[in-house]
Amino acid sequence: MSQKSSLAWKIIDKKTLINHFLSVYQYSIKIRLFSGDWSTPFTRIMAKSPQAVVVIPFDPSTNEVVMVEQFRIGALNDTEHSPWLLEFVAGGIDTGEDAASSASRELQEETGLDAKQLIPIYSYYSSPGLHNEKIHLFCAVVDSTKTHDFCGIAADNEDIKTHRINLSDAIEMAKSGQLNNGAAIIGTQWLALNAESLNR
């Protein structure tokens, strides 16, 4: 598989379009083609935000996952589904915070739960064609009976309802398209492959 170095692209120009929590930049760039030649300059837009965590809360004793339901602006115009999505715990990594600390904090803020065990899984880019966001995925072994019904930080306009869902039901929801965001699908698929090892 080809792995190109930083010598294989040149930034010709960079403009700031939005400078906020989520910043947006316009790049004029050229890249080294697989043929060895240089491309002509082309334009790309990139949104930049802090790195983030996703946490899969799982209780091996009840075989339940804990999911959160909240409003998402990106799904506002989805005519087939509600913009209130079922997701796993997620949030940005604060300045000076490592991924594991962020995962534990977000788990507490969004479900009221503490992790008995926090298992790092892998990291991935959520949408690298447009966004630099890198997700650090964790599984948190929890006691689902201690889940709070409603959570979120009011100052951040978070209004979260939690759901305790049997893993087999969550897998069926992923298969049927009821789970319609990447992290929820990825996390459920990971549990489908690995939950048995967490019961040992």
What single-letter DSSP state applies at residue 42? E
For residues 6-25, give the mean pLDDT.
Answer: 93
Chain mean pLDDT for the chain: 95
Classify domain 52-198 at the CATH topology level.
Nucleoside Triphosphate Pyrophosphohydrolase (3.90.79)
Cα(160)–Cα(110) distance, integer angstroms: 7
Between the alpha carbon of residue 148 and those of residues 3, 10, 102, 152, 160, the distances in Å are: 45, 50, 19, 10, 10
Tokens of 194: 């690995």
Query: What are the residue boundaries of the structural domains of the chain, listed by start?
Result: 6-48, 52-198
For the cut 80, the answer to whether the pLDDT of residue 25 exceeds it is yes
Angle of the 182-198 helix axis to the 167-176 helix axis, nearest 10: 150
Residue 199's pLDDT is: 73
Looking at residue 47, its pLDDT comes to 97
pLDDT tens profile 74-123:
999 998 889 999 999 999 999 999 999 999 999 999 999 999 999 999 99
Question: What is the tens place of the pLDDT at every residue in 110-135?
Answer: 999 999 999 999 999 999 999 999 99
Sign of CA dihedral 109, 58, 177, 51: positive
